[in-house]
Amino acid sequence: MKNENHLRKFIRESFISLYEQAKNLECPEATQNLELNTRNRNSAIEADYIQYGPLNLTDEAYWERAAEHWKTTPDVAKESRCYNCVAFDVSPRMQDCMPGEIMSQEDISNAMEENREWETLGYCWMHKFKCHSARTCYTWAAGGPIKDDLQSADWQERNQDV
């Protein structure tokens, strides 16, 4: 019983410490520096292995290329977007870093629960720029979005060069 209490206390203190760290972390530089953000975004558009896009969401040629890259159909390729990518951060702390108003956490949660498409800006931890939820890139990976401050802080801790 004594060990169990110690463990609970340890977990609670660790959680509080992580939460405090998340609160104190600065915004990623690209969210505050337009020139850096634009440079990183343009690199992501141009790099053969990233191909961030499409610029125009109805650009079918882009989705056909993405489908070919993933060896699937354009309709299936369209299901892999920034909004469900593991690196796409729309946590409350990241929302505070974004210039201007973006979609609220509540609206995002409702759209996800109702399986509706939703559009907003978020931060891409893989390529370090503000990306749009309805776009995608060749390095997309399942598991997102990041909606939690602690998870966001964890990505930032592992990206200390930002």
Q: Are 128 and 77 in contact (CB under 8 A)?
A: no
Closest approach of ligand SF4 to the CB of residue 145, in Å: 8
Q: Which is nearer to ligand SF4, 94 or 131 (CB)?
A: 131
Interface pick for ligand SF4 out of 139, 148, 150, 151 (rule CB under 6 A): 139
Q: Which is nearer to ligand SF4, 20 or 59 (CB)?
A: 59
Q: Is 89 exposed, middle or buried (0-12, 13-18, 19+ CB in 10 A)?
A: buried
Closest approach of ligand SF4 to the CB of residue 62, in Å: 13
Q: What share of the chain is helix, strand, coil (3-state, %, to 5)?
A: 50, 10, 40
**How far from each other are the two terminal CA atoms of the chain, in whole angstroms?**
44
Residues 73-102 that bind ligand SF4 (CB under 6 A): 82, 85, 87-88
Q: What's phi and psi for 53, nearest 5 deg?
A: 170, -165
Q: Does 126 participate in binding ligand SF4 (rule CB under 6 A)?
A: yes
- Residues at the interface with ligand SF4 (CB under 6 A): 52, 82, 85, 87-88, 124, 126-127, 131, 136-137, 139-140
